[in-house]
Structure 1
Amino acid sequence: MSTPTSVYAEMTPNPEVMKFVADRPLIEGNAQAEFYSKSECAGHSSLAEELFNFPFVTGVFISGGFVSITKDDSLGWEMIAMQMREYIQQWLTEHPVAVEKVPPPKTAPAPSSETAASAGEPLVTLDDSDIVPTEHDEAISALLEEFVRPAVESDGGAIDFRAFINGTVHVRLRGACAGCPSSTATLKDGIERLLTSKLDVVKSVVAST
């Protein structure tokens, strides 16, 4: 049974990522799905699995009513955006479910040296064993959810609170935000300024694995 669906393409601050917005939800609630290879998609998202058949696709992020696609530098979006929009629209019209099973969160592959340089500060490596819950976690998460998440999602990305350690808030950037050249400005001028102004215990914000 077909489900007529309209899709439009939207640029993001990350030049390698395009956001494709549908007129219906693609995943349940606040869930998100992120993939960096076709093999990761099996059993989770048929849409993402099909998108990796395009040789230039290196990442797929699905949240709410949009899918963000990360490409390599072999082609410019001006050459492929229309093709991708039409393909996604047709696929969604023919398939009612884009994500069959939400995968567990994962860490993005390490960016290339060129990408890391353009994005500014390198990622801080944070193991799960480093994370210890604190009394401030709930307040930090609430601020990120209310003030940051909507803006980040509008750019085709996502932000996850990882930990609060010695005055530093560790967050994970996903989707269009991962490796974005403007991510450092977003962290320091936006998120860090917000959290330090609201919570005296917060001194800095960094992007972590």
Structure 2
Amino acid sequence: MLIETEPTPNPATLKFLPGRAVMEAGTRDFATPEDAEASPLADALFGLGDVTGVFFGRDFISVTAAPGVEWPGLKPDVLGILLDHFSANMPLFRPGSAAGISVPAEAADYGDNPEDAEIVEQIKELIETRIRPAVANDGGDIVYRGFDAGKVYLQMQGACAGCPSSSATLKNGIEQLLKYYVPEVTEVRAV
């Protein structure tokens, strides 16, 4: 089995492509070792001690190294865990009863005004069709959180969270695109 790696705009994060689907639907962001307890794979990656974030995309895993950790030393360990996991066809998440299911708390949404429903639908459509695919190419995801008085609130995940270029991406890329197609948008903010 061959797992390809790609750099991301975030120098602390590498994107790993196992050549098969990782998530059948949606994405999952693990920002802490406690979050990672739901997944044997994420838990093992955090267990290395030098990992501060794991993100599962449709066909990739993004791993963020701790500050001061160099990828040449960490990459072989991450690849070893990924190879073992995918070669053994291990489950991505731990099984559990309904009582044991723990869904991570979502960041606060900014409550959309029902009068803005048409604008919100346009914004969500642009995010799904134009923005999310581009952000996924960089090893991350973007989640719509709300629209209020011309401001669009978005949450960056995976390689995009904490990336030095994420504010430029939001302002120069996403904000310009949304303003162009949806004149009611005046600003885009990260949450």
TM-score by length of 2: 0.87
Q: CA deviation at 1:106?
A: 4.1
Task: State yes or no: 1:24 paired with 2:4.
Answer: no
Matches within 5 A, 1:32-51: 32-42=27-37, 44-51=38-45
2:81 is aligned, of 83, 87, 90, to: 87
Asked if 1:67 corresponds to 2:61, the answer is yes
Note the C-alpha offset of 1:131: 1.6
Larger CA deviation: 31-40 vs 155-164: 31-40
1:23 counterpart SS class: coil
In structure 2, what is the equivalent of residue 53 of structure 1?
Answer: 47
Name the CA distance, whole Å, in 2 between partners of 1:103 and 1:66.
Answer: 21
The equivalent of 1:160 in structure 2 is 143
TM-score (norm 1): 0.80
User: What letter is aligned with 1:62?
Assistant: F
Structure 1, unmatched stretches of 5+, are 108-126
Q: Residue 112 of structure 2: SS of its match in structure 1? A: coil
Q: Is the 8 A contact 1:34 1:105 kept in 2?
A: no
Tell me by how many angstroms 1:19 deviates: 0.8
TM-fit CA distance, 1:78: 2.2
Give the direction of change, closer, same or farther, for the CA distance of 1:52–1:12 in structure 2 (3 Å limit): same
Output the CA distance in 2 between the equivalents of 1:24 and 1:85.
15
Identity %: 35
Matched residue count: 182
1:78-137 alpha-carbon deviations (Å, 9 max, x no partner): 222233223312221113422357944645xxxxxxxxxxxxxxxxxxx44x42343121
Aligned to 1:132: 112
RMSD: 1.8
Other structure's SS at 1:164 match: strand
C-alpha distance in 2 between matches for 1:12 and 1:179:
12
Please give the secondary structure, in 2, of the residue aligned with 1:27: coil
For 1:99 and 1:6, the matched residues in 2 are separated by 22
Given the alignment, which residue of 56, 59, 71 partners 1:77?
A: 71
| Alpha-carbon separation, structure 2, partners of 1:152 and 1:105 | 22
SS class of match (1:60)? strand
Partner amino acid for 1:131? G
Q: List structure 1 segments (4+ residues) > 6 angstroms apart after TM superposition.
A: none
- Name structure 2 gaps, 5 residues minimum: 96-101
Asked if 1:196 corresponds to 2:162, the answer is no
- Which of 2, 22, 26 lines up with 1:6 in the alignment? 2
Partners of 2:106 and 2:64 lie apart in 1 by 16
Q: Which of 167, 179, 183 is 2:162 aligned to?
A: 179
Once residues 86 and 123 of structure 2 are traced to their aligned partners in structure 1, the CA distance between those partners, rounded to angstroms, is 36
Does residue 148 (structure 1) correspond to residue 131 (structure 2)? The answer is yes
